[in-house]
Amino acid sequence: MLSQVIPEANYLMRMADGTIKQINPFTHTEVWTVPGRANRPLGVSSPNPAPLDPAAHDAYCSFCARRYLETPPEKVRLIRSGDGMKTLRHLHVEHLFDTVAEFRRIPNLFEIVSFDYWQQNFDYQMPKHIAAHKLDYLASESGRAHVLKVVDQRLRAAGLDEAECHLLSVDERLQLADAFFAGGHDVIVARRHFIDGATHEHQLASSGTLTPQEHDQYLCFTVDALRDLFAHNRYIRYVAVFQNWLKQAGASFDHLHKQLVAIDERGVQNDLALRRVRDNPNMYNEAAVNFAGYRNLVVAENDYAIAFAGFGHRFPTLEIFSKSERCEPWTHSADELRGMSDLVHACHAATGSDVPCNEEWYYKPPDVDVPMPWRILIKWRVSNPAGFEGGTRIYVNTIDPEGLRDRVVPRLFQLKNEGKIAPMKIAFECACIPNCLRYNPAVR
């Protein structure tokens, strides 16, 4: 099946009884939407939300602005400066509270792919300027205390008690801190835990509650981190970029953040996509945006990107594709980044803060020789795969693509009229010109 080409007629089929069958042309995932199962409530309900203590507004979790010392030493922060923004790199602990970070880039305390992995498997050595920063950070008493405190926090999470932690020498514990300075698993943390003026604990600040300008800063800050990870470790073949929103979607904290995880493989998803695009270099046009346009699934478009209700996904999925001829996010122009950001932001705003979702980035791995467009998928985690899915490999998605479109489009028009999202064309306003993705030189 994986070597077969799926006929376009099979991407999205409506049966006589109303059952909708979908097959993803890239992954060959089979999905059904059964009549009557799409009426389940979507969001996380808060029937009796607890009042928010004003004193906890910026100190609610370890990602909040008054709790900087609970995370490893930050790598970069973005702060407001006059009418613009300013980047501060490698702050010492003594200066963490001198400014308020709109966005911070910090190491993940619990790495998926550890610093030891890169050292032991590739003999990776910490770059000299990062090693110098580590020594500089640890030169102050407060810097050492901060690092040792976070190392102990990590050891306790691994099951050691305080006495066992201190069986390790100071030098051994500081050695464990190498991951904080040169690791390949970073977190991009937004300033707000709650929306401005929040009075109750359910009023969380999500991607959709940011302004379009703030979301652009958030996305560009993430792209800069992506570029930086590749630049500092030549053994990295791909960096997975994703955002888990709400605990039901895998988030540790209900505080807005993205994650970047460097790996030494392209990943199965990229290898499958590469195989398809070698057979048909124009597949992302033909089997994604063109098909979406022909089936009236496009929900929004601007000069630089296009968004549509995806098909063949286990969960209701909004797909946002860059139209750029450039394939890696860090090579996009400022206007192209803003175009992507505006559509991603609009899709999150239309989704709503109470819907658990995953944001996943896909782009051409640097060592791939064929063009592949940058695209971002927003998956609504509103159902749980169960025994039927495991036994058949047919997944039940409670919202079909047309139903997803019909939920999102009215909300986009409302947000546009309220000035809460950037100007863009919505649904029937979109041009939907075939082959609008310029990644493929043959159709430019």
* Local confidence band at 86 (pLDDT 50, 70, 90 cut-offs): very high
The answer to whether residues 412 and 332 belong to one domain is yes
The answer to whether residues 160 and 267 belong to one domain is no
Bridge pairing between strands 394-396 and 30-33:
parallel
pLDDT of residue 37: 56
Domain end call among 175, 205, 235? 205
The answer to whether residues 281 and 412 belong to one domain is yes
* C-alpha–C-alpha distance, residues 440 and 444, integer Å: 7
| Four-point Cα dihedral 154, 160, 165, 168, nearest 10 | -100
pLDDT digits (tens, 9 = 90+) for 89-116: 999 999 999 999 999 999 999 999 999 9
- What one-letter code names the amino acid at 196? D
In a domain, 271, yes or no: yes
Name residues whose C-beta falls within 8 Å of residue 295's C-beta, 6 or more positions apart in sequence.
12, 401
DSSP letter for each residue of 361-377: EE---TT--S----EEE
The answer to whether residues 28 and 73 belong to one domain is no
pLDDT of residue 41: 55
* Local confidence band at 1 (pLDDT 50, 70, 90 cut-offs): very low
The answer to whether residues 192 and 307 belong to one domain is no
Q: What is the mean pLDDT of the chain?
A: 93
* C-alpha–C-alpha distance, residues 172 and 386, integer Å: 45
The answer to whether residues 86 and 22 belong to one domain is no
What's the total number of domains in the chain? 2
pLDDT of residue 45: 65
pLDDT digits (tens, 9 = 90+) for 125-159: 999 999 999 999 999 999 999 999 999 988 888 77
In a domain, 43, yes or no: no
The answer to whether residues 280 and 389 belong to one domain is yes
* C-alpha–C-alpha distance, residues 227 and 326, integer Å: 14
In a domain, 102, yes or no: yes
Q: Which residue has the tokens 């801190």?
A: 177
* Local confidence band at 163 (pLDDT 50, 70, 90 cut-offs): confident
- Write 138-146 long-range contacts (CB < 8 A, 24+): 138/174, 138/177, 140/92, 140/93, 140/94, 142/93, 142/94, 143/73, 143/92, 143/93, 143/94, 144/174, 146/69, 146/73, 146/93
| Residue 71 near residue 63, CB atoms below 8 Å | yes
Percent of the chain's residues with pLDDT above 90: 81
| Residue 77 near residue 99, CB atoms below 8 Å | yes
DSSP letter for each residue of 290-345: IHHHHTT-EEEE-SSEEEEE--S-SS-EEEEEE--S--SGGGS-HHHHHHHHHHHH
The answer to whether residues 274 and 390 belong to one domain is yes
- What one-letter code names the amino acid at 432? C
* C-alpha–C-alpha distance, residues 18 and 400, integer Å: 11
Instruction: Decide: helix, strand or coil at residue 288.
Output: helix
The answer to whether residues 173 and 264 belong to one domain is no
**CB atoms closer than 10 angstroms to residue 284:** 24
pLDDT of residue 389: 77
What is the mean predicted confidence (pLDDT) over 169-191? 93
pLDDT of residue 400: 95
Residue 188 belongs to domain spanning: 61-205
pLDDT of residue 118: 97
CATH number at residue 272: 3.30.428.10
In a domain, 244, yes or no: no
Residue 379 has pLDDT above 60, yes or no: yes
In a domain, 50, yes or no: no
Token pair of 25, please?
Answer: 């042309």
* Local confidence band at 411 (pLDDT 50, 70, 90 cut-offs): very high
The answer to whether residues 385 and 261 belong to one domain is yes
The answer to whether residues 195 and 279 belong to one domain is no
In a domain, 46, yes or no: no
Query: What does the H/E/C string look like for 54-112?
Result: HHHCCCCCCCCHHHHHHCCCCCEEEEEECCEEEEEECCCHHHCCCCCCCEEEEECCCCC
pLDDT digits (tens, 9 = 90+) for 184-238: 999 999 999 999 999 999 999 999 999 999 999 999 999 999 999 999 999 999 9
| Residue 33 near residue 399, CB atoms below 8 Å | yes
Token pair of 120, please?
Answer: 């032991």
Token pair of 122, please?
Answer: 């590739």
The alpha carbons of the chain give a radius of gyration, in whole angstroms, of 23
Percent of the chain's residues with pLDDT above 70: 96
Higher-confidence position of 40 and 421: 421
**Listed residue (247, 295, 240, 284) closest to 262, CA to CA:** 240
* Local confidence band at 318 (pLDDT 50, 70, 90 cut-offs): very high
In a domain, 45, yes or no: no
The answer to whether residues 73 and 197 belong to one domain is yes
What is the mean predicted confidence (pLDDT) over 273-280? 93
The strand pairing partners of 106, in sequence order, are 187
Q: Which residue has the tokens 């500092």?
A: 232
pLDDT of residue 166: 73
* Local confidence band at 43 (pLDDT 50, 70, 90 cut-offs): low
pLDDT of residue 44: 66
